[in-house]
Structure 1
Amino acid sequence: MIDIGLTHIALPVSNLERSVKFYSTYAQMQVIHQRIDVETGVAVAWISDNTRPFVIVLIQKDSVHPVLSPLAHLGVGCKSREYMDSLCDKARQEDLLIQEPKDSGYPIGYWAFLQDPDGHTLELSYGQEIGLVVENNSL
């Protein structure tokens, strides 16, 4: 099998372990591959939520300048509005919530922005119908 289409996005991070913990907590992603790059000595982790063949490649660097900050962001769909609210409550307590939850109606749905440990933005959402739109357009 050969991968085709969009397979990953790579993000520089200052602390690989801290970033893995953030994406595990707020995006239900887990490490599926981890290594120290032989040529550069840089720590790398591929993380996935295992719902599709797509990963975020986290690359540890000494200096990080966030490239994904509002409006540029990673988007994660949540299983329910209540679950999303619980994640936002946790993020608020950890001072990671940068945009309070907001219901923007169809097709955007209910969404909020969080900031990862390096300043990249993660959008949590409920009710966006991206999967349905893609499915309907691929017929």
Structure 2
Amino acid sequence: MTDIGFTHVALPVTNLDASIAFYGKYANMEAVHRRTDPKTGENVAWLTDHTRPFVIVLLQEPNVEHKLLPPAHLGVACESREVVDRLCDQAREEGCLNNGPADAGPPIGYWAFVTDPDGHILELTYGQEVALRVQETAKEKQPAESSV
């Protein structure tokens, strides 16, 4: 099988294990690949939530010079407002809640920003209409059925 389409986003991190733990807790992701690059000595991990063929590639580096900061962020959909609230409570206790939770109504929904160990922003959401919008546009692109 060959990959087609959008497969990953790569982020520099300073502590691979801390970042894997953060994305496991706040985005329900796990490492499906780890390696040390033989040329650079850089530690690498691929994280997925197993909902689609997509990974976040974490690249361990001595420092992170370009953080993913608002308005830039990664977004993860949660199964309910209660899950967003629970994760926000955890983030508040751990000192990494950046903003929210807040309800912006459709199509944005209920959201909050949390900050990963290197300062990158992860958005937790419930009720965003991403899947709905993608499904609607996919239907529009389908060829009309022939009546022949």
Normalising by structure 2, we get a TM-score of 0.92
2:124 is aligned with what amino acid? Answer: L
The answer to whether the Cα contact below 8 Å between 1:11 and 1:58 also exists between their aligned partners in 2 is: yes
**Aligned mates of 1:27, 1:86 — CA distance in 2:** 13
Deviation at 1:66, TM superposition (A): 3.6
Q: Which runs of 4+ in 1 moved over 2 A?
A: none
Q: How does 1:86-125 map to 2 (within 5 A)?
A: 86-125=86-125
1:104 is aligned with what amino acid? Answer: A
Q: Does 1:138 align with 2:138?
A: yes
Secondary structure at 2:119 match in 1: coil
Between the two proteins, the alignment pairs up a number of residues equal to 139
- Judging changes above 3 Å, is the alpha-carbon distance between structure 1 residues 23 and 17 closer, same or farther for their aligned structure 2 residues? same
The answer to whether the Cα contact below 8 Å between 1:109 and 1:126 also exists between their aligned partners in 2 is: yes
Structure 2 gap ranges (5+): 140-148
The answer to whether the Cα contact below 8 Å between 2:102 and 2:112 also exists between their aligned partners in 1 is: yes
Percent identity (aligned):
58
Q: How does 1:1-139 map to 2 (within 5 A)?
A: 1-139=1-139
Normalising by structure 1, we get a TM-score of 0.98
**Aligned mates of 1:113, 1:103 — CA distance in 2:** 12
**Aligned mates of 1:81, 1:50 — CA distance in 2:** 21
Structure 1 gap ranges (5+): none
The answer to whether the Cα contact below 8 Å between 2:67 and 2:118 also exists between their aligned partners in 1 is: no
The answer to whether the Cα contact below 8 Å between 2:101 and 2:110 also exists between their aligned partners in 1 is: yes
Secondary structure at 2:20 match in 1: helix
Secondary structure at 2:46 match in 1: strand
User: Highest CA radius of gyration, 1 or 2?
Assistant: 2
Deviation at 1:27, TM superposition (A): 0.2
The answer to whether the Cα contact below 8 Å between 2:48 and 2:56 also exists between their aligned partners in 1 is: yes
